[in-house]
Chains A and B, each alone.
Chain A
Amino acid sequence: MTVLNPFLQLYNVHKRFGRHVVLETLVLDVDQGEFLFLLGPSGCGKTTLLRLIAGLEPLTAGQILQAGRDVTRLPATERDFGIVFQSYALFPNLTVAENIAYGLQNRKQRRTQIAARVQELLQLVGLQGLDPRYPAQLSGGQQQRVALARALAPAPSLLLLDEPLSALDARVRASLRGEIKRLQRRLGITTIMVTHDQEEALTMADRIAVMDQGRIVQLDTPLAIYQQPATPFVADFVGQMNFLPGVVSSEGIGVVRTGAFALRVQNWGEDLVPGTSLMLAIRPEEIRIERDAATLSNILIAELQAVEFMGPVYRLLLRHTVPDFYNAAVSLTLTLPRQAAEQPELRVGAALPLHLPADALRVFRTGKKPA
């Protein structure tokens, strides 16, 4: 994916701790004013990558350019960025105002100027009047806003957020999400945020870099990543995904046989020869329960195992047996709006005909050659 106006450029960046490779060699461009997410499970190297960008950790190899300037060898103090950590990392012995002013006092500004800037930032994060308080006297959400204000105070050109919302409770997290996003838009500041929360990334990001085992496995917009995950890992990590093992059939182009059922796939790679094992994937909300099964293709019968009430939706857990695959039972999950799920035939043990639309089925190769 090409970036038109790159602000931050990582070229062949690589990181090892001793013999342990934390980051495989990677290339990444971040656009001016972009909100980029590093998303991945713990241990995937996302925080290390952020610390490399910040200069808090030396790279093993590679080059980093920020606004066209080579910052690879610069220590953190010499770079231009603000950072917010999960733990807030507020100075506990300084008041809110002193915390925000901490990075300003070093820049030989006049005291009235600093005070004005502090007020401006308090306004920006909605904490007017709290300047004389100590961090311990604030709620978690307020503390994180102070941390954000402190990071933004020297007007950096790059903002780094290291799981800033993970320590907060659900309600505060949701409201702060929107606020950070609005703030980022308003200031137009290039921002990189690390998270393991896919919902956070989907709602806030311009682009998401999904990371796994020290690599960026997919870099794209939230919608593209959700709709066309590049690997089964991405498909499973971002949103929920059902996987169905299958074999390419000779009954026609784009037909996959899974047990007794034939499923047509719209998005078909040409080089798939009959007999190739593969994995079909479909999101829970894309599966439909059909009454008139006979009239439709792409039907699969599965047994209803359990119904879970989730508030606005129900989650249905189903089981489908595929004889060809050692009689392995495949679990399927599908979600239904509440009204649609409150039907008498949806009882545990019932065999339900499921419609898997051809345009919703994705294909992942499993690497196995035809037998």
Chain B
Amino acid sequence: MSQRTLSPGRAEPGSLAKVTSEEWLRRSLLLFLLGFLLVSILLPLVPLGMRSLSDPQGNFVGLDNYVRYFSSPGLTSSLLNSLTIAGKTTLLAVGLAFVYAWALARTCMPGKHFFRAVALLPLVVPPLALAIGLVYLFGKKGLVTTGFFGFFEQNFGIALGFDLNLYGQNGILLGELIYCFPQAFLILAVAASMADARLYEASKVLNASPLRTFWSVTLPEMRYGLISAIFVCFTLAFTDFGIPKVVGGNYNVLATDIYKQVIGQQNFVMGATVSIVLLLPTVLAFVADRIAQRHQNAVLTARATPLHPRPTPLLDRFALVYCSLVAGTILAVTGTVIYASLVDVWPYRLELTLRHYDFSKVGGGGWEAYTNSLWMAFYTAGVGTAIIFAGAYLIEKSRTWSLLRQTAYFLSMISVALPGLVIGLAYIFLFNPTHWTLWGGKVPNPFAGLYGTMAILVLSNIVHFYTVSFMAATTALKQIDGELEAVSASLGVPFYRTFWRITLPLSLPAVAEIALYLFVNAMVTVSAVILLYSPQIKLASVAIVNLDDAGDTAAAAAMSVLVIAACLTVRVLYFWITRHLHRRTQAWRLP
């Protein structure tokens, strides 16, 4: 009997595994990730909150600022306006997108690829450009307002002019609608495509009417998509800055208030207070969405059979007309921006010219700002994808330190609740001072060197768009069998080698998608960077704001077109590269 040679082992759970150098590396990386998330996401909120509780001299005043805020009617009306805009936009955008997604997934209408592409087009258009398009269509001298420059009046004697009364609620609503539509559509299109044909067959066999089938099968299976879409649209419309800035007129919203307080009046204290007011509903929406999604079990079981729609002439025709109307609106607004950027003097001299693309006589930074934006988007995509994917990998595929990993996961998810302007202002408070005042003492700010650099712009973008990318990475990683890691370990292969040779190649499509998402958003975003850019590093999206402010609307349109062009080019490049990738490194996917 050999057991006599054994001593009764009674090791404690935590001390069981011998920590190898490989494990130390993994732990260091996890610690580094947690540190990064803490500094870039959580820490900046501390000075922001502190500032909202202090007077301009830095003395603690409790909730005085909030009392002042809620007793000033001018400011509180903005809160009401923001809520109104967000509520109406959510209702309309989700409703429109729901029917659109349903039409694409469940009918046999023609041109589905085209309509899908058009629905996603606003994703590559800066929200500001959408607003400028609206100005050229519905503004004082707009195409629609003037009845196509009096074209119909002159030729047919009928005045077709129509004044939408753009500046104010109408304009913001229309702009936000186009801005939020593709986001809602993306979520709902996925939900609509996950139908289980067996349920529909069962419903048919049981003689349920199409309406009853819709209520008892379609709606429940799209429930979680709908909830998600509602929260996403609400948050976007509630916090958007670009569209109200251009077409808001005297209709103030929270986002423009923050901008005015900080940039216009240099009132950082009130800016911080309004930021917190802006932050609370988005955090609530985030928490509500998380709770709702927790109940989501797999809607689609492994045995579900996909639903193939059958032709229904009447329904298909309705779907086509409906989608054409929506797509037409999106194309009209985008097309108008391009057209306006080429017209000599709108609406008097309609000759086409490229002179608006020569930015030398206008402010905003011109081509240099554009180049800066391209670099910023490029860095954001490169560095952001690396950090986010590696972070998701460490969280998803490690087995040690589960509390630390849960914290990192939570931080990765929470960043979506932070509006761009809040990130921008919080970063000013954290990174601008050369010294931090802590309990009366002064501590040199270790991050002071970052302020006004390209690095802080890139960092703010990565944080701003962290969560969506992180979720895409996590989903991709979850699809990789955990036993692959176990096999690698059994073969004595260290985890970083398996990451490089197996995990990363298997996730390449997701990685490319994340990079594209980060690039496009860094290109079009204005809210975070408008508070952080320095005169040395001007940006294209900020230039659109400033050009529009200065009345150089045509130049603003031209800059918008350049931004759209960059995003579309990258999108096409992405398409081409992924197809190429597919053929080379994803050869294994083919049977």
Contacts and interface: CB of A to CB of B under 8 A. Distances in A.
Interface of A: 2-3, 6, 9, 11-12, 27, 29, 54-56, 58-63, 65, 72-79, 81-83, 85, 87, 89, 91-94, 102-103, 106-107, 134-137, 150-151, 153-154, 160
A134 B506 CA distance: 14
A82 B22 CA distance: 20
Interface string B474-512: 000000010110111111111001000110011000000
Given A77-B20, A91-B484, A56 B489 contact: yes
A73 B481 contact: no
B311 to A, nearest CB: 34
Interface string B237-249: 0000000000000
A11 B3 CA distance: 7
Contacts of A72: 9, 11, 16
Contact of B18 (A3, A63, A78, A135): A78
B33 to A, nearest CB: 21
Interface residues of B, number: 40
Contact of A154 (B491, B494, B497): B491
B486 A93 contact: no
Contact of A85 (B486, B501, B586): B486
Interface string B1-43: 1110011111101001110101100000000000000000000
Contacts of B585: 93
A159 to B, nearest CB: 10
Contacts, number: 126
B114 interface: no
B348 interface: no
Given A9-B6, A59-B16, A89 B588 contact: no
B18 to A, nearest CB: 4
B314 interface: no
A93 B17 contact: no
B490 A83 contact: yes
B588 A135 contact: yes
B294 interface: no
A134 B492 contact: no
Nearest to A160: B490
B9 A151 contact: no
24 contacts: A9-B2, A9-B6, A55-B489, A58-B17, A61-B9, A63-B7, A72-B9, A72-B16, A74-B17, A77-B492, A77-B494, A78-B20, A81-B490, A89-B486, A92-B588, A94-B501, A94-B502, A103-B491, A106-B492, A106-B493, A134-B588, A135-B588, A136-B589, A151-B491
Nearest to B9: A63
B582 to A, nearest CB: 12
B587 interface: yes
Contacts of B9: 11-12, 61-63, 72
3 interchain residue pairs of minimum CB distance: A103-B491, A63-B9, A76-B489
Nearest to B488: A102
A93 B494 contact: no
Contacts of A92: 506, 588-589
Contacts of B11: 59, 61-63, 72-73
Interface in B399-419: none
